[in-house]
Amino acid sequence: MAAKRTRAEIEAELAALDAEEAEEPDYEYEIGRGENYARIPSRSKAGKKLHGYFLESFGIDLNDEPVQDAEPEDEPEPKRKPAGRAQQGGNVRAFRGRGVG
């Protein structure tokens, strides 16, 4: 007969499983077309199947975070001259409304 496990052993095993799940990212996959779509939690059975399908079929690991653009390190913005009469060719005159009468 198999030896019975104690309550402490079972609780320790459950705590270890909870710790493993806490390391997994928790997000949703949204798939569909038009008005028909579904949101599937990544930790659900369907979410894990979807992850496996993309990994096997396309080589895409959905757990990988997309590469973010690196932010420039405090580069000053180039100074621009304000758009004005000098940049518009020099033949600019103030608008004078038509005289009615």
Domain extent at residue 55:
16-62
**68-75 long-range contacts, CB within 8 A, separation 24+:** none
Question: Would you say residue 10 lies in a domain?
Answer: no
Q: What is the DSSP string of 19-31?
A: HHHHHS---EEEE
**Domains in the chain: how many in total?**
1
- The per-residue pLDDT for range 41-89, each reduced to its tens digit, is 888 888 889 888 888 998 888 777 666 666 766 666 767 766 655 555 5
Question: Would you say residue 70 lies in a domain?
Answer: no
Which secondary structure element, helix H or strand E, spans residue 49, and what is its range? Answer: helix 45-58
Question: Would you say residue 4 lies in a domain?
Answer: no
Residue 48 near residue 55, CB atoms below 8 Å:
no
Q: Phi-psi region for residue 68, left (φ > 0), alpha (ψ -120 to 50) or beta?
A: beta
Report the 10 Å Cβ neighbour count for 41. 13
Question: Would you say residue 30 lies in a domain?
Answer: yes
Q: What is the DSSP letter of 62?
A: T
- % pLDDT > 90, the chain: 3
pTM, 2 dp: 0.41
Question: Would you say residue 26 lies in a domain?
Answer: yes
